[in-house]
Structure 1
């Protein structure tokens, strides 16, 4: 048999098995060991990249002290990483098709590891910001590749399992990031938040470099690169992300910079979409949005991003600011969420595989909405048990909904669109997180101010109960040796009022998140029944 005939037979066999031709060994059999090792290495790399988004959150104070930075400057350690990451996430699909998944991914990991080591050794705020940006660029290149590989390398019956793995990484990394960061900083130093990437990074480089040959490069894409589209996309994403990150703290459109950045983002966003639709070789293909199921799945992924990042933002902030928990206490409380996600991932995968995708998404988002709404009744007396119940049910629901939404997003897309679709799904989910944090910060500030005004207006110093409270506080301050017991008592009473207003503000923020989950569940009703099972694309056998 000629080489051409053998090549044709391999291609036919690969198509029949639902795997790429590169997944077959010399005998024409699927090399599952090679696939799992290569894919496993990519999963670890994605976990590293997503972990570094949140791992610094619980240690910003220590980093600030170590670098001698101001309170305003230190927030840029997080912001610059997100800004850099959001640029390369949509660009990753184009570059991985141009160079091939293996060389592109390995190069990204090498840059990420070197940048991580350099960030850990940084001695000044300025150098850390530059190095953190490089780290974010490499991370953004690593994140989308796992999902695309899962949906092209594995046959239809195993894609839900692959989705479970990617869903676990997406939800688990942001959850345990602050926990791991707090423990590392307490036990070693904040520099180990970045040094820790060395050992798993070497493992990823070895596994993907040796077993990650899932596709072949397409050098023809090097001709006619859309440089104009790339510049417009960069401006659009940077201005939008910055406005979302800093808008709440700057009073949104009351700040001239935020106002003009929003205008620039709106204009460049429209130009970017026009360019990608009309240019013959777009940097980011928007063709997947022509598919109804993909668009609905992306909408739900956006809202899931709001819920995942929003919940991981609200609970630690409440524990630290209102209940005055230490970093390790916050980590212990938040550990429940990570454990539940880890344990429930295979269970959710089986459930999603065994039922109509619409049912799994409605149940998942419904459970997430109910459990998140429990936070609407939060009080300053809440302890570990109350937060554990909220996190456990919310984590299970989000995991189930996330797997269903990811499966729906690609259920009717052809294989050649998978890399573009993966970049879009990850970008939209990250933007959902950015939008969620921005809106939640605004909700917290606005609602806390309203509750503070209402409670303050209700306080009447001529009222008997208010007088009794003031007298009791005055006696306590007198026992503590305050120079002016009554003034100290009034100050303490004001602190109690502000604390109660903050608690009520957090309750409103939890209700906002719950409403978002309800909206996401409602979107599932618009999914067509023809592709409700979601694990088969056109032309494939179930």
Structure 2
């Protein structure tokens, strides 16, 4: 092993391959075509796992109807997936060393495919949630593994493409999720949003087994798993996700269940930290946080995840609740962001080889804030044309944010440390998304109530105008019904719908404006970042 490329924390006994194992070619010494093929297969597997986070977003009503589920139950189709995925992402670094990249990725892809088929066959909401939890857990291993393997495979100018491609996948997949899911639901039924994974999942599994040979397994590590550490991490992350998902619906800590989950999560977090620092065989190492640049990059990723997932969530909600769009219409409208992200990937990949990443991320944060500010001017009539420019700008901006943050976070680590850094870095983005959706849901509900109250006050002050409007509307409705009382009730109901619609629209504006200020505030961190040295030779601990 080339000691010059191993970080101080990499000399861990678990990282060494068994002495009897046959020698492997170092990842960086593989033929270029093979490296590209391995990376392409793994990136596609990551895309599948990330796509399924949001693929049900535009089709929840259809899934709810198909499974005869209640409104509170159907949310667990997404919550269960996210909770399980959050647990696996940091755990995957340990499993990669124990099972090898080849077997972990192949098992992850194969079990993800099987659980996808089971989701499509679900017969009630309980079975669906159970299969979605399995799907999220096993699929979560593919997400950080490809980051670590990509940085191990490539060096020099080729390495600059890794954050660009994986950054595109990381943001494009959840953005396209509602589009793909809405289209499939419209043309083939909601079960096909899960069946669509079967054929590509089988292909990824088979190709992973035949192509990936970058490191050895170290099976004795499985006998030394610190189960208390694993349990603490699962309770901490699962409880946190539950609180964030269910909190807005149950008025946060006014609900006993939310309070209990929060306490369990807090206590488990303390145990998780204790085991991370003192355990002889920790499943997650926190040593990457010794690097200040990594810390700043993780904070950036938290903010990016907040903006990415929250905006991807909010726009379909607006189109469904205010405009009354169906799943296909919603998917068609949000598709613009994905196209802009593809364009942004090419642009940022080229710029990242010539420009200081701090300048790129500064411009990205400014453009992201600008796109959110533009969206905060929406009216109840906004549709595809009005969303076109803000969404295109946001798609370009998110690539300018995420590509340099990946480079800063992972560019300076060798293989063993890189695996843990990748898991923690990706965890930050998903946590940011969970925080984002929970917080904007709370903001949206609070601001809607505030604006509805203001409308009520305004109508009270100008009561003669409101009553006159209702009387005119009742007179028009009266032409359709002979009962004056019924006509008045219909007119009042229509007036209430108008007030509710406008209150919700103004609330969306407030939320997008707050998010814009958050991205502007993130600019404060940029001067404190130092670009990581990303052209170090590839790690050699696969020998």
TM-score by length of 2: 0.92
C-alpha distance in 2 between matches for 1:13 and 1:422? 21
C-alpha distance in 2 between matches for 1:259 and 1:112? 33
Q: Deviations over 1:70-124 (max 9, x none)?
A: 2222221111111111111111000011110001110111111111112111222
Mark the CA change 1:465 to 1:345 in structure 2 (over 3 Å): closer, same or farther: same
Match of 2:522 among 520, 524, 530: 520
- How far does residue 23 in structure 1 lie from its aligned partner after superposition? 5.0
Q: Deviations over 1:163-204 (max 9, x none)?
A: 111111111111111111111111111111111111111221
- How far does residue 342 in structure 1 lie from its aligned partner after superposition? 1.5
- How far does residue 148 in structure 1 lie from its aligned partner after superposition? 0.9
SS of 1:91's equivalent? Answer: helix
Any unmatched runs of 5+ in structure 1?
1-7, 16-20
- RCO higher in structure (CA 8 A, sep ≥6): 2
Alignment RMSD (CA, Å): 2.2
Task: Name the structure 2 match of 1:335.
Answer: 335
Task: Name the structure 2 match of 1:485.
Answer: 487
C-alpha distance in 2 between matches for 1:275 and 1:71? 39
Any unmatched runs of 5+ in structure 2?
7-22
C-alpha distance in 2 between matches for 1:463 and 1:181? 46
Task: Name the structure 2 match of 1:160.
Answer: 160
Q: Deviations over 1:374-423 (max 9, x none)?
A: 12111112232220111000110111110011111123323321110111
Task: Name the structure 2 match of 1:104.
Answer: 104
C-alpha distance in 2 between matches for 1:431 and 1:12? 35
Contact 1:307–1:516 (8 Å) recurs in 2:
no
- How far does residue 266 in structure 1 lie from its aligned partner after superposition? 1.3
- How far does residue 538 in structure 1 lie from its aligned partner after superposition? 9.7
Task: Name the structure 2 match of 1:47.
Answer: 47
- How far does residue 150 in structure 1 lie from its aligned partner after superposition? 1.3
Stretch of structure 1 that moved more, 495-504 or 301-310: 495-504
SS of 2:113's equivalent? Answer: helix
C-alpha distance in 1 between matches for 2:322 and 2:126? 32
Task: Name the structure 1 match of 2:217.
Answer: 217
C-alpha distance in 1 between matches for 2:46 and 2:495? 48
C-alpha distance in 2 between matches for 1:244 and 1:526? 30
- How far does residue 12 in structure 1 lie from its aligned partner after superposition? 10
Mark the CA change 1:262 to 1:410 in structure 2 (over 3 Å): closer, same or farther: same
SS of 2:460's equivalent? Answer: coil
SS of 2:141's equivalent? Answer: helix
C-alpha distance in 2 between matches for 1:524 and 1:215? 36
Q: How does 1:143-154 map to 2 (within 5 A)?
A: 143-154=143-154
Mark the CA change 1:489 to 1:288 in structure 2 (over 3 Å): closer, same or farther: same
- How far does residue 264 in structure 1 lie from its aligned partner after superposition? 1.6
Q: How does 1:47-196 map to 2 (within 5 A)?
A: 47-196=47-196
SS of 1:379's equivalent? Answer: coil
SS of 2:282's equivalent? Answer: coil
C-alpha distance in 2 between matches for 1:486 and 1:378? 31
Task: Name the structure 2 match of 1:396.
Answer: 396
Stretch of structure 1 that moved more, 217-226 or 326-335: 217-226
Contact 2:5–2:538 (8 Å) recurs in 1:
no
Asked if 1:416 corresponds to 2:419, the answer is: no
Contact 1:461–1:467 (8 Å) recurs in 2:
no
SS of 1:424's equivalent? Answer: helix
Contact 2:155–2:537 (8 Å) recurs in 1:
no
Task: Name the structure 2 match of 1:502.
Answer: 504
Mark the CA change 1:312 to 1:539 in structure 2 (over 3 Å): closer, same or farther: closer
Stretch of structure 1 that moved more, 225-234 or 306-315: 225-234
Q: How does 1:225-240 map to 2 (within 5 A)?
A: 225-240=225-240
